[in-house]
Amino acid sequence: MATTTKTKNMTAAEKSEKQLGSIAMGAAAFSVERNELLDALVLCAKIVPRSSAIPLLQCLKFDLRGETLFITAMDLPKQAVLQFLRVTNESGEDGSYCLNAKEVIELVKRMPDGELSFTQKDANVTVNYGERGRANLKALSSEQYPELPQPGNTSFLSCPLDMLRKGALASRFAGSDENMPTITAVNLYHTDGRLGFVATNRHRIYRYISDIAIENPEEFQGGMIAAVQFKSIVDSLKSPNVDLAIAADYLVLKPPSDSTWLR
């Protein structure tokens, strides 16, 4: 009887914690410019699943390492995004926790421009903004959050963003039948020392051969990337140049201030 009563009286927050995982521990604190953080969160939001067999994937993982904040979003096994921002480590301590993606993104969108301060006290994260603004978020442990693959010593190509966007236009010609992944993807390949992009739905074809040089063809690994996700990520990038590689079955894009993995 006691167990039944306790279950009935369990709050929505407690049920969420039980489903997602254990609460976080730690006392990390950092400050960051709101617009820089929002740009990173918006890109992460593009792949956060609406539902998942792994509920923790509906969260974003925040890792504070020195003066760098790493933000991870994943939708296994399709894609993953890792953003990193330069921040001010106010506590001098490293830390790691997960925040509900929808909650933190909507919160930051409502905040005014300027510096934001995130202060963790175990399961509670307080966000201070403006002169007196304050909001609270629930933090969950990141221990069970999946690990990103490591690109290792993979060789990267230097890609002008305008050429990458032309390559991503191949998504308009890709098919939509998820049972046939070869026609729902953009194929990145090597041709005469340059990077090419091609997609087809079997009725029409898009082929773009860029001026992006592949100086070491023997080290280049081509691959097929989900067309819709590829274009969505590329359209979100702002740096005029992007480093690109395919490693461990993932496409890795590395603008100056962030990294993106697409499987």
Please report the pLDDT score of residue 150 as a whole number: 65
Number of H helices and number of E strands within the chain? 6, 17
Task: Name the more confident of 58 and 82.
Answer: 58
Q: Structural domains in the chain?
A: 22-140 (3.10.150.10), 157-262 (3.10.150.10)
Half-sphere exposure of 5 (CA within 13 A, CB side): 2
Task: Name the more confident of 214 and 81.
Answer: 214
Please report the pLDDT score of residue 48 as a whole number: 86
**Poorest-pLDDT segment among 139-143, 149-153, 201-205:** 149-153
CB distance 152 to 247 below 8 Å: yes
The residue-averaged pLDDT of 128-143 equals 93
Residue from 68, 25, 81, 13 nearest 237 by CA:
81
CB distance 182 to 155 below 8 Å: no
Q: Under the phi-then-psi rule, with left for phi > 0, alpha for psi from -120 to 50, and beta for the rest, what region is 194?
A: beta
The residue-averaged pLDDT of 40-48 equals 86
Residues whose CB falls within 8 Å of the CB of residue 79, separated by 6 or more in sequence, listed in order: 47, 226, 229, 261, 262, 263
pLDDT-derived band of residue 230, with 50, 70 and 90 as boundaries?
confident
The residue-averaged pLDDT of 33-60 equals 87
Q: What is the tens place of the pLDDT at every residue in 77-108?
A: 667 788 888 999 999 999 999 999 999 999 99
pLDDT-derived band of residue 7, with 50, 70 and 90 as boundaries?
very low
Strongest mean pLDDT among 149-153, 155-159, 204-208: 204-208
Strongest mean pLDDT among 70-74, 183-187, 193-197: 193-197
Angle (nearest 5°) at CA 29 between 23 and 35: 105
The residue-averaged pLDDT of 175-200 equals 91
Task: Name the more confident of 4 and 184.
Answer: 184
Query: Could you tell me which residues are beta bridge partners of residue 140?
Result: 23, 98
Please report the pLDDT score of residue 114 as a whole number: 95
CB distance 214 to 193 below 8 Å: yes
Residue 14 has pLDDT above 60, yes or no: no
